[in-house]
Chains A and B, each alone.
Chain A
Amino acid sequence: MATVLGLYNYWIAIFLMMTGFYVVIAHGNLVKKIVGLNIFQVAVFILYISMGKVRGGSAPILAEGVTSYSNPLPHVLILTAIVVGVATTALGLALVIRINEAYGTVEEDDIHSQDEPE
């Protein structure tokens, strides 16, 4: 039981990850898929950020009398990954706008049925 509760940060990350993944797979609306993808990515950010925490460690700033610091590297890594995530979302939404202009809908089924007759 202690391990289950002690690892709560991972449970949150996995719950969010699977939620996002489910939304990507189950929804036919292209905008909602992007939202799901976002949740999925954010779960991974949380996984990274929580792994940098050192129990009893202070913020990673040099100070008198502090010997244990949290690891700042995962935070830096995830800043990069956040930028990548923003770029992906922007590009995805831009594509959805173009799809909406071309097909007049953002529902996957409708798009499919429009392309079918050819």
Chain B
Amino acid sequence: MQLGQHLPILQVVIPLLSAPLCLLLRNGRLAWMFTLAVSWLVLAGAVWLLLQVLAHGTVSYALGTWPAPWGIEYHLDHVSAFVLLIVSGISAVVLPFAGKSVAREIPADRVSLFYTLYLLCLTGLLGIVITGDAFNLFVFLEISALSSYALISQGRDRRALTASYHYLILGTIGATFILIGVGLLYMMTGTLNMQDLAARLPAVTDTRTVRTAFAFLVVGISLKLALFPLHLWLPNAYTYAPSVVTAFLAATATKVGVYVLLRFVFTIFGAAFAFQAMSLGPILLVLALLAIFNASTVAIFQDNLKRMLAYSSVAQIGYMVLGISFASLTGLTAGILHLFNHALMKGALFLALGAVFYQLGTVQLTQLRGLGRRMPWTMAAIVIGGLSLVGVPLTVGFISKWYLILAALESGWWPVAVLVLLGSLLAMVYIGRLVETAYFHAPPEDDREVREAPLSMLLPIWTLILANLYFGIDTSLTVGVARQAAALLLGVSP
């Protein structure tokens, strides 16, 4: 299997080389079909790699056959293979939807440019997950960030431009903080390879330089993953970006940020240093709870539904970070599990809103009155996705909350478990508002003909919704992988 050996690098090279090819296509429809084909190819590779990791353990690939500490190593374990599957899977589902949606929201002469940016963004996200080199991670982070700034600015509203600009400023500060942190680590250890860093750091942990590096890295990564109170770039960016971009970024970009946090805190610094010497646990715990309550409360008062879901994303990131802050096997399992589950629900919800926008041209709550009767399939999807967000049994949201509460009780922090439940009630309120407007209000008088979204949009939405239900009932795959990933990060047996 010559090609199979090179699969880790192909996961990055294929979308990277496809981006300029896509630019040459000029024709929007061709560019879309090409991007779709590339994305499905990448998904097939990711599935194959995950099976490989599950069967034989860690996969390592030396770039240019330079051995590990000198050359760049691509390193795939349970954590990265799982996140790789999330990113490529979401991309593969979002793209069939993109065809019609992008054709309507982006001017025809810019469509092929749009897909070029999309492929670059995908390259960056996949690269971050797959690489085993700290500096290489920074480069991929910037590839994905720069292309997502450009993607967000393609929104029709002029506020997309200012949202993108603010994201650029904050994102660059975050990335530069990460660069400082990596530099300080290199100064102390003389290596950039993550495994090598992990082996050499314990000898020098008790220095101010390493502690400073840790602080820079945690703050920089928190900016990237939009942890409260560093989330200010997120709501506007998600609100004004084109529908497809919002769905793709909401389901992948912040998840990859959480992955980077896991990688640095657990693999490189080690749980003992981060949670005992630096007492990261209580800091993350408090910020996560603030994120859940603050963002959920703000979400209740939003009239723009995309903005409502964007604030809800900030709250959901809080749940992930909450799981991480326990630093226990169950807590980490819950965090990684929610990574996957939240990608499914937010992907579905933002795609459904994209379908509403396609038909109505707006996502203001007041314009959605009586839509339950006129777009039954789309609205039903929003209801199920919303229930999943709240955490109703038989949906994936319930599984995440269940493990989170289990982890809280295991650590003996029952008030945190109560707060998680209260947070779910807040989600119930803002989803309830949406459902009430769509189903229990009469349609507006000056009625235009509003029809159900086309099948090419409904299929991706319902694929994600059915996945929400399926993984809410059969959890053997997701919980199994998440548990193994958590055990690997903590260095214990599952």
* CB nearest neighbor in B for A118: B159
* Chain A window 34-69, contacts with chain B (Cβ cutoff 8 Å), 1 for yes, 0 for no: 000100110010011001000000000000000000
Q: Please give the number of chain A residues whose Cβ is less than 8 angstroms from any Cβ of chain B in the complex.
A: 28
Contact residue among B135, B146, B165 (Cβ-Cβ distance under 8 Å from A99) = B165
CB distance from B366 to the nearest CB of A (A): 14
A40, A81, A115: most-surrounded residue (chain B CB, <10 A): A81
Whole-angstrom distance between the Cβ of A97 and the nearest chain B Cβ: 10
Q: Which residues of B contact A115 (CB under 8 A)?
A: 159, 162
A103 contacts the other chain (CB 8 A): yes
Check A37–B183 contact: CB distance below 8 A. Answer: no
Q: From B159, which residue of chain A is reached at the shortest CB distance?
A: A115
Residues of A contacting B183 with CB < 8 Å? Answer: 44, 47-48, 51, 74
Question: Inside 8 A of A88's CB, which chain B residues have their CB?
Answer: 142, 146, 168, 172
Main secondary structure, interface of A, reads helix
Q: Once the chains are docked, how many angstroms separate the CA of A92 from the CA of B176?
A: 15
State the CA gap A91–B179 with chains docked (Å).
20
The 8 Å CB contact of B158, one of A30, A96, A102, is A102
B169 contacts A by Cβ under 8 Å: yes
A33-B169, A87-B146 known; A98 vs B161 contact (CB < 8 Å): yes
Kindly report which residue of chain B lies nearest to residue A98, judged by CB atoms. Answer: B161
- B377: CB under 8 A from chain A? no
B276 vs chain A, min Cβ distance (A): 29
Q: A18 within 8 Å of B by Cβ? A: no
Whether B150 sits at the interface, judged by CB under 8 Å, is: yes
Q: Which residues does chain A contribute within 8 Å of B179, judged by CB atoms?
A: 44, 81
Complex contact B168–A102 (CB within 8 A)? no
- Given A84-B139, A87-B146, are A99 and B180 also a contact pair (CB < 8 Å)? no
Residues of chain A having any CB pair with chain B under 8 Å: 21, 24, 30, 33, 37, 40-41, 44, 47-48, 51, 74, 77, 80-81, 84, 87-88, 91-92, 95-96, 98-99, 102-103, 111, 115
Contact sample, A vs B, 15 pairs, CB 8 Å cutoff: A21-B173, A30-B165, A33-B169, A47-B180, A47-B183, A51-B183, A81-B138, A84-B146, A91-B146, A91-B149, A92-B165, A95-B149, A99-B158, A102-B158, A102-B161
